[in-house]
Amino acid sequence: MLNERKLKILEAIVKDYIETAEPIGSRTIEKKYNLGISSATIRNEMSDLEEMGYIIQPHTSSGRVPSDKGYRLYVDNLMNYRELTLDEATFLKNIIANNINHMEYLMKETAKAISLLTNYTTIVSEPTVNKTKISHVQLMPMDEKSIALALITDSKAIKNHVVLVDFELSDAELNNLTQILNSWLRGRAIDEVDVDNVKMSGDSNISKVFYKVLDAIKNIILQEKNVNIYTSGVNNMLDFPEFSDIEKVKSLFKTFEERDVLITLLGESSADDIQIVIGAENSIEQMKDLSIIKANYQFKGRDLGAIGIVGPKRMDYFQVSSILNGIVKNINDILRNAGNDDG
């Protein structure tokens, strides 16, 4: 295992590289970090560290750069979380307080806030309804050809849809139908709803609408099985020297547009605490040069979605994981309070 001195040197290399993005040599370490040993000694230790796979020499006669393994050691053994600063904490509390009524906004705004605080890219997957229960369904008059449908879940999501019809229904008829639907749907888990096996007898116009509404609900459910996903601060990537090449930018930005990739990226594990995935540790080819720091959030024990912060491998793991830690606590608190009635 690594001795104290090697650890110190590795830590210096990682921190310096995170800060400067330049390969770092023995003489620089000697001057910048007072380790009390000469550059020649540092050179010997670095040679060992390279052999052990913790650092890499981009080319002969250049300084060293941390390898994935080096970052891993740093993250696991040399780093801890800090508390949020007062500024960060109030900033985030405000965001959350201002968007507490609207889940979708909350996630979008949180992503924005994280990007702003960290200068990295944030990916958020939205609370999906398919793991939740239907708490209410409502039909509403729109115009003589269309009926609006709202579906509310116990995770406080509201989904709308428009149902086209050939004839107009009165408010009373709509209310009536709304009651029928609710008596049947309320409290059901959304992915257990089997709209194909419902039958309705009686007035033909109303039952026509009834089936159309069931179809619409089916659509909402299908649609929602595809997770919603947002990114924020993608442009922040342009500020890193890692992406001074336009071709790299192009391929990275294309990747950020691929839902599937993002979903995989966020979904790969679902541990309870904050996960740090470094470089090639993730399975996505196009992301081999990036790291991601992520966390899941839960509602009533169900995983609802995740927040991930993406940056170059030399991203500021310390700052980002600290901030994410603070945020996840806050959000989970909110979700817990929102649902402290039953369950």
Partner DNA sequence: GTTAGCACTCGATAAAGTTGGTTGCTAACA
Partner DNA sequence: TGTTAGCAACCAACTTTATCGAGTGCTAAC
Per CB under 7 A, contacts with DNA among 51-90 are: 57, 59-64
Smallest separation (angstroms) from its own copies to the CB of 143: 6
- The least CB distance from residue 1 to DNA, in Å, is 16
- Residue 50 touches which member of DNA, its own copies, none, C-beta under 5-8 Å by kind: DNA
- Could you tell me which residues come within 8 angstroms of residue 102 by beta carbon, excluding any fewer than 6 positions away? none
Decide whether 14 or 213 has the Cβ nearer to its own copies. Answer: 213
Do the Cβ atoms of 187 and 135 come closer than 8 Å? yes
Which one of its own copies, DNA, none is in contact with 164 (Cβ closer than 5 to 8 A by kind)?
its own copies
44 touches, from its own copies, DNA, none (C-beta below 5 to 8 Å by class)? DNA
Q: Where are the alpha helices (DSSP H) in the chain?
A: 4-20, 26-32, 39-51, 68-73, 86-98, 103-118, 171-185, 204-225, 246-256, 259-267, 317-338
Instruction: Report, in Å, the least distance between residue 195 CB and its own copies.
Output: 18
Residue closer to its own copies (CB basis): 273 or 342: 342
CB 154 within 8 A of CB 126: no
For residue 175, state whether it binds its own copies (rule: CB under 8 A): yes
**Interface residue with DNA, options 21, 40, 162, 198 (CB under 7 A):** 40
Shortest spacing between CB 49 and DNA, in angstroms: 10
Establish if 39 lies at the interface with its own copies (CB under 8 A): no
Closest CA to 227 of 96, 95, 100, 104: 104
176: tokens are: 């009536």
- Does residue number 176 form part of the binding site for its own copies (CB under 8 A)? no
Q: What SS3 class is residue 64?
A: strand
The answer to whether the beta carbons of residues 69 and 54 sit under 8 Å apart is: yes
115 Cα distance to chain centroid: 12
Instruction: Map residues 109-138 to x or -, x wherever contact with its own copies holds by CB under 8 A.
Output: --------------------------xx-x
Size of the site for DNA (CB under 7 A): 24
Exposure of 317 in the CB half-sphere (CA atoms within 13 A): 28
Q: Are 113 and 92 in contact (CB under 8 A)?
A: yes
Least distance from its own copies to the Cβ atom of residue 3, Å: 42
CA distance 307 to 37: 43
Instruction: State the residues that interact with its own copies by CB under 8 A.
Output: 101-102, 135-136, 138, 140-146, 148, 150, 152, 154, 156, 158, 160-164, 175, 235, 238-239, 243-246, 249-250, 253-254, 257, 338-339, 341
